[in-house]
Amino acid sequence: MTSDFARYHRQMLLPAFGEDGQARLRNSCVLILGCGALGSVAVDMLARAGVGHIIIADRDFVELTNLQRQVLFDEDDVARALPKAIAAKQKIAKINSAVRVTAVVDDINHTNIERLASGADVFVDGLDNWEARYLANDLAVKSARPYVYGAAVGTTGMSFAVLPYGSGAAEWETRAGGSLATPCLRCLFGEAPPPGTSATCDTVGVMGPAAAIVANFQVAETLKILTGNFGQVRRTLLNIDLWTNEIPQLSPGKVDNHSHCPCCRERQFDYLDGKAGSSAAVLCGRNAVQLRHRQRPDSVDLAAIAERLSKHGEIIASEFMLRAFIKEHGNDYELTLFPDGRAMVKGTDDPGVARSVYARLVGA
């Protein structure tokens, strides 16, 4: 055992790891998409496990309400108003200085995700909205790289490791004599739910352990993938409720059963190509950003969204629009929603901030 690896002794005792597995981890690169409740746990564990390079992409800053569950951060990060990606990088430097961390403070969208993911072997999902998830799924399928989905809200969590065709499992596939490919996220969930229909941690809350257990599941799957143990990757959708103690397992089956998937069967990468999802337009001189869905949703239930947002601030609602006056961490935002899913966020001229406010309060 080389002295470089001494700290990993307990992990290398595991037969599936050994010195060879540890060397594989050192030569690996993982992209963390979002460094919140899931991402901060994943970064911590992957750095401790000895993944050589971690790219952390997140657009938000550490806030007091994050500390209940985002274990990598502390009150000092809040006081310094550090971006999460930067705070995470500083923590990892103290935890495992051998790990190279690239911190990217940016909104993840179709114009930059391919560049962000350059060199990454696996994508770990710490995202808070469907649009970005389907974008990551598009890139995973297109570039044949694994993508480990995860989501937690309330007391529930879900996770699934997407192994697209050709995603580095070639040696195992040859041995197994068949394909290891799994369904992709669009096979599993179909079209993204209309805006405003998904619960978010900001509107219904989240229990810390629900997020932590999902993130640790994601890390375990990522370690299996990176050490070449593709055969051990779970083939079912993890779907847990820590409050009711339900842990049902859904079997998504073989990818061949999902012959109509536009992404992994038809190879249409609508999100990556910028044909699906939302576009953001900065409204010059008005300190506002307009968000518009490229594929117009059927209709948005403004009354239901108004009900949820009423806990956050003053609401003006009619059948034609909903306006919410939100005070968040010293900033005032005016969020206007229209039945066709269009939204206007006043109080910022940064599309990333506008997307963040929308994703957290409305659900995208």
CB of 141 to Zn ion, least distance (A): 7
Least separation in angstroms between residue 142's CB and Zn ion is 12
Residue 79: CB partners within 8 Å, gap ≥ 6?
A: none
Q: Is the Cβ of residue 44 or residue 138 nearer to Zn ion in the bound state? A: 138
List the structure tokens of 226: 């990176």
Token representation of residue 111: 């114009």
Name which of 184 and 280 has its Cβ closer to Zn ion: 184
Q: How far is the CB of 124 from Zn ion (least distance, A)?
A: 19
Contacts 24+ apart (CB under 8 A), 71-78: 71/40, 71/41, 71/44, 71/212, 72/35, 72/40, 72/41, 72/43, 72/44, 73/40
Nearer to Zn ion, 17 or 149 (CB): 149
- The tokens for 316 are 């003006």
Amino acid present at 112: N
Q: How far is CA 32 from CA 2, 54, 206, 282, in A?
A: 28, 7, 20, 27
Burial class (CB in 10 A: 0-12, 13-18, 19+), 1: exposed
198: number of CA atoms within 13 Å, CB side? 21
User: Which candidate, 228, 200, 226, 164, places its Cα nearest to that of 309?
Assistant: 200
Between 261 and 335, CB nearer to Zn ion = 261
Residues that bind Zn ion (CB under 5 A): 184, 186-187, 261, 263-264
Closer CB to Zn ion, residue 119 or residue 253? Answer: 253
Residue (185 or 291) nearer to Zn ion, CB: 185
Cα 168 from Cα 146, distance rounded (Å): 8
Residue closer to Zn ion, measured from CB, 140 or 151: 140
**Tokens 């490791």, residue located:** 161
Ordered DSSP codes for 33-64: E--SHHHHHHHHHHHHHT-SEEEEEE--B--G
CB of 263 to Zn ion, least distance (A): 5
Min CB(159)–Zn ion separation in Å: 17
Name every residue whose Cβ is closer than 8 Å to that of residue 154 and which is 6 or more positions away in sequence. 199, 204, 205, 206, 207, 210, 243
Residues 161 and 221 sit within 8 Å (Cβ to Cβ): yes
Helix or strand run (H / E) with residue 89: helix 84-95
Active-site positions?
201
Q: Which residue is nearest to Zn ion (CB)?
A: 261
CB of 230 to Zn ion, least distance (A): 18
Q: How far is the CB of 165 from Zn ion (least distance, A)?
A: 10
Taking CA atoms, 59 is separated from 178, 212, 259, 286, 355, in Å, by 40, 21, 36, 22, 10
